[in-house]
Structure 1
């Protein structure tokens, strides 16, 4: 399972891919789309993907748990990006050379400022102690989420640093994680150290899972690799496409395979020309029990934790049915 805060290398598709000059189904501002072919990626073959653990690709924003100021902390994804003049030069170079290779970055002048606490992600290459941008001109990295942080208010809503816990959505049966039941539970941040997780909820990526509402927003964390898929068809293009379209368990954004040698491979609906979301999602339709007992009953307490503590022990037939009053 993916545990480290590494977002430098994009996870390759389990099939080989090709670029089509059509508007992206995934990103509104992208004039092309990357689609899967019917050929299995050689990387997947070499990594013995047939024996890999298949997990649900969760649609949210990536987070990381790591120490900050002597305490386990949640970190938000923040890529360091080029400023407008540098971006213009970079686009011109790519247009002329059909590639980003050979482009020279001035690391002191070409990039937007980031908070002093920003750190590059694990796996980012360095030259002379300077992080090197990826082929898209970005330097993946993290910033710590501070308590009641306005820029990261939805991130901060799922952690309580006084209690040292985070709000996590996970399979209720850890020994049988493929079972349908989920639990929304407080987990010590120390137990999540080194893990990457996905923040999902009302105000993240269009809220594919139907969590909360504008009046009572609801967010939580899902550890990468924690939601297993146990009923995948053979690794065949047409079989997998049919599975996404017709099977109840195929109502997911995508699949991530965790190979025994550490290789990660993925396949999402956009690779297959399929919409996402498309009706009710599998995760949003799964039963869930709320287990949030500990809460600070004063003005410094986390509002979401306080609200959920009133639902402690309640079971909902669907994750998207979890409601509370603020």
Structure 2
């Protein structure tokens, strides 16, 4: 296995990832027997699938995305939008990512100069080439349906998170996805889909080694203490969310977090067509985008569940006030029953 050295320039918020505190993700061939893939998923908490999607389909979606954002000046002049090369004459501060914990509540980041960029980044979530075509790619839906055994009951949440990460900007902090899906059982599957090639130092996701048990333990410990304090299930859930950082993160310091839990971070380069499936309590973060060629990192989070069983209908909302990431944290203090009824009605009307 190739070691990770300082010269690879793989960094997170609080320092570098090297052989001492990191290793490589285990890749899997999607054509392996399902029982073997399921065993890997249960053992690792993730399944790193190589070349699951047609490369050309992923790159076409990438082209559409950057063509939409091109009027903001984010791309280097004279370059093909599909390459996603950041304009070196611009400041990254003018092009903040959404949902990265950059501001409280994961709301709308940046100032006036960033407004057009952020608005278009949010608008991309509703474009047909993304919402209708890419998010429902038959190869992905088919694989998830077979892998989980959910079959025709496989539901792809309408609410997704399409993230860009320009070089040098704030990466995503330490978290697990169940934090954002509080009104459903922890049975969903997240598909993290890189929309383009991402170098090993280009801002891709990093997973905590054996991180699923850590996430489960964090939540169980908090729930136990809440119950001992006399809280109801709903009160405990709300208190857990409120106890998290305002952005829904466990930590902004991945190196220190891994050290405290005696774990390493797992990293990889990614190719267009790769997909990583992970469990609701699998702990992950992202690295800083230090791409030497100034390539903007683009990826999306797609979530699936079994529609024949109770699931988080709030997490399935798509609304104008969601801001592609603010919904999770902003709603935790509202009345859970009323909110769930609202979600059910919204779902019926396909909001």
TM-score range, shorter chain: under 0.3
TM-score by length of structure 2 reads: 0.24
Higher relative contact order (CA 8 A, sep 6+): 2
Considering fraction of residues, name the structure with more helix.
2
Rg larger for? 1
Considering fraction of residues, name the structure with more strand.
1
TM-score by length of structure 1 reads: 0.25
